[in-house]
C-alpha cells in the first residue's frame, strides 16, 4: 500500500512515523530545513518516554514518487490550491485523497444530497479547482484530534491524542476506507469509520470557528476565553449561529453548546492554532475555519452578525500583520446582508 503524506509537518510527520512503523510504504512531501533534516537523519517522533526514528522516502518533488494508493493531505487548508499541479503525478485511477485538514473540506457537498449537491465553496476552493483537478470523487474525510508540534527540523513531539475518525462522503463503509482504517489501527491510532463524517467535521469546527479568531484577537488561552463572561458569551453566540447553519444541511450535534464550551475550558491554558500562527508569523487559517461558515450562512439565508463582526476584525488583524492571503471578506455591514 503506497501512501504519500503531502505536507509532512507536525501532524503529517506523526502519521508518517506511525504508518512507517506499521510497515506501510510511506513517502513524505516536505520542504526547507525540515526536509533536509529528514533526508540526513530520518524522521524522529518523541512520544512520552519513547523515541522512534524512521527513514521514509522524502522529497519536495512529488513527481519522483509515482502513483499512490492514498494521498493524505496534512497541509493547512489554505495551501492546498497552490499545490494542485504538483500533486498530479501522484494521482492514478484508483488513488484516494484523505483530507486531514481543519475546517470544511473542498468535497463537502459531494454526495451530500438535496439542493446543495455538488456545490463548491469559494472561500476554501477558489474557482472549484480542488473539486475538479484533485477530484471530489477521490475524497475520504478525516478529522485530526491529536496535538503535535515540530520540536526541531526532523523531530516531531506528540503532545496528546491519537484519534483520526474517517469517513466516505456517501456514508458507505467501502473497502478503501476500511483498509485505511485498519492500517491506522495497526499503526497504534484510533480510526473509527463514521457513516456521518460531516457531523464530526462540524463538531470540531464548532469550537474552531469561535475560539480561534477570538484567541487571535485577545491572545487569550482556551481557559480564559471560556471563563471570561464576555468572551464566553461571544463564543456562544457564534456557536449558536454556526449550529443553525449546520443543521440546515442536516448535521446533528451530539453535544450541546454549553457542553462543547466546557470541553474546551477543561483543555486548560492552551493556545489555539490561529494564535500560534499569529505569534510565529505564519498565515492564519481564517477562511477554512471562519469565512467558510459565513459563506454557508449566506448560501442558506441565515444571518451571522456575531461571526461577521469577529471575522472582520480578525481578517483586518491578519492583514496588518501581513498574514492573510485568502479571499477578501467584506467589512461593510450592507455587504454582509443576505440577498
DSSP summary character for residue 289: I
Element (H, E) at 227: helix 222-227
Do 149 and 209 fall into the same domain? no
29 domain-assigned: yes
The verdict on 38 and 181 lying in the same domain is yes
Q: Are residues 118 and 209 in the same domain?
A: no
Q: Report the CATH number at residue 125.
A: 3.40.50.720
Domain of 226: which CATH number?
1.10.1040.10
- CA-based nearest residue to 209, from 225, 190, 195: 225
The cell numbers describing 130, all together, are 480542488
Domain count, the chain: 2
Q: State residue 330 phi and psi, 5-degree precision.
A: -70, 145
Q: What is the pLDDT of residues 281-329, one digit of tens each?
A: 989 999 999 999 999 999 999 999 999 999 999 999 999 988 876 654 4
- The cell numbers describing 266, all together, are 477543561
Give per-residue pLDDT as tens, 107-157. 999 999 999 999 999 999 999 999 999 999 999 999 999 989 899 999 999
Pairing assessment for the beta strands 166-167 and 50-54 based on DSSP bridges: unpaired
Last residue of a domain, one of 170, 195, 220: 195
Domain limit, last residue, from 175, 195, 215: 195
Domain boundary among 195, 228, 260: 195
Contacts of 229 (CB under 8 A, 6+ apart): none
330 located within any domain: no
| Residue 327 burial by Cβ neighbours in a 10 Å radius (0-12, 13-18, 19+) | middle
Residue 213 lies in a domain: yes
Q: What average pLDDT does this structure show over 25-31?
A: 96
User: Is position 138 within any domain?
Assistant: yes
Domain check: are 172 and 60 in the same one? yes
327 is a domain residue: no
Q: Are residues 168 and 66 in the same domain?
A: yes
pLDDT computed for residue 337 by the predictor: 30
Catalytic positions are 204
Q: Name the 3-class secondary structure at 144.
A: coil
Q: For the chain, what's the residue count?
A: 339
For residues 245 and 175, membership in a common domain is answered with no
Q: Write the CB contacts of 27 (distance below 8 Å, at least 6 apart in sequence).
A: 2, 3, 4, 5, 56, 57, 58, 59, 65, 68
* 16 & 109 share domain: yes
Whole domain around residue 81: which residue ranges? 2-195
Same-domain check for residues 42 and 151: yes
Residue 333 domain flag: no
Residues 110 and 84: beta-carbon distance below 8 Å = no
| pTM (predicted TM-score) | 0.92
Chain segment 230-268, per-residue pLDDT in tens: 999 999 999 999 999 999 999 999 999 999 999 999 988
The pLDDT of residue 324 is 79
By C-alpha distance, which of 146, 135, 143 is closest to 97? Answer: 135
Burial class of 259 by CB neighbour count within 10 A (0 to 12, 13 to 18, 19+): exposed
Integer Cα distance of 4 and 12 in angstroms: 10
Sign of torsion, CA 228 234 238 240? positive
Average pLDDT of the chain is 93
**Predicted confidence (pLDDT) per residue in 51-110, tens digit:** 999 999 999 999 999 999 999 999 988 789 999 999 999 999 999 999 999 999 999 999
pLDDT of residue 279: 92
Residue 14 resides in a domain: yes
Residue 99 domain flag: yes
Residues 176 and 211 in one domain: no
121 with 179, same domain: the answer is yes
Largest CA distance in the chain: 57
Query: For residue 269, what is its C-alpha cell?
Result: 491554558
pLDDT band at residue 331 using 50, 70 and 90 as cut-offs: very low
Same domain, 7 and 21: yes
The alpha carbon of residue 77 and the mean position of all alpha carbons in its chain are separated, in whole angstroms, by 6
Same-domain check for residues 105 and 159: yes
Amino acid at each position: 500500500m503506497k501512501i504519500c503524506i503531502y505536507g509532512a509537518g507536525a501532524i503529517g510527520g506523526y502519521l508518517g512515523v506511525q504508518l512507517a512503523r506499521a510497515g506501510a510504504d510511506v513517502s513524505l512531501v516536505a520542504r526547507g530545513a525540515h526536509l533536509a533534516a529528514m533526508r540526513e537523519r530520518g524522521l524522529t517522533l518523541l512520544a512520552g518516554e519513547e523515541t522512534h526514528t524512521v527513514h521514509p522516502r522524502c522529497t519536495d518533488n512529488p513527481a519522483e514518487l509515482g502513483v499512490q494508493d492514498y494521498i493524505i493531505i496534512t497541509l493547512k487548508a489554505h495551501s492546498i490550491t497552490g499545490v494542485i499541479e504538483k500533486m498530479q503525478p501522484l494521482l492514478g485511477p484508483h488513488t484516494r485523497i484523505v483530507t486531514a485538514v481543519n475546517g470544511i473540506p473542498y468535497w463537502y457537498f459531494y454526495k451530500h444530497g438535496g439542493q446543495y449537491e455538488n456545490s463548491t465553496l469559494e472561500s476554501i476552493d477558489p474557482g472549484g479547482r480542488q473539486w475538479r483537478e484533485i477530484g471530489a470523487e477521490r475524497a475520504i474525510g478525516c478529522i485530526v484530534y491529536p496535538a503535535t508540534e515540530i520540536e526541531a527540523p526532523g523531530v516531531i513531539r506528540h503532545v496528546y491524542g491519537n484519534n483520526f475518525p474517517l469517513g466516505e462522503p456517501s456514508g458507505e463503509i467501502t473497502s478503501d476506507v476500511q483498509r485505511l482504517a485498519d492500517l491506522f489501527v495497526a499503526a497504534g491510532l484510533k480510526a473509527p469509520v463514521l457513516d456521518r463524517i460531516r457531523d464530526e467535521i462540524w463538531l470540531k469546527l464548532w469550537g474552531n470557528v469561535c475560539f480561534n479568531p477570538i484567541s487571535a484577537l485577545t491572545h487569550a488561552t482556551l481557559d480564559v476565553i471560556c471563563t471570561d463572561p464576555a468572551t464566553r458569551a461571544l463564543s456562544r453566540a457564534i456557536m449558536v449561529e454556526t449550529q443553525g447553519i449546520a443543521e440546515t444541511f442536516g448535521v446533528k450535534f451530539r453535544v450541546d453548546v454549553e457542553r462543547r464550551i466546557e470541553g474546551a475550558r477543561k483543555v486548560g491554558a492552551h493556545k489555539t492554532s490561529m494564535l500560534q500562527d499569529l505569534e510565529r508569523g505564519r498565515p492564519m487559517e481564517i477562511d477554512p475555519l471562519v469565512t467558510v461558515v459565513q459563506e454557508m450562512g449566506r448560501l442558506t439565508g441565515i444571518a451571522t452578525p456575531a461571526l461577521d463582526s469577529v471575522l472582520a476584525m480578525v481578517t483586518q488583524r491578519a492583514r496588518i500583520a501581513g498574514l492573510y492571503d485568502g479571499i477578501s471578506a467584506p467589512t461593510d455591514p450592507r455587504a454582509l446582508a443576505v440577498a
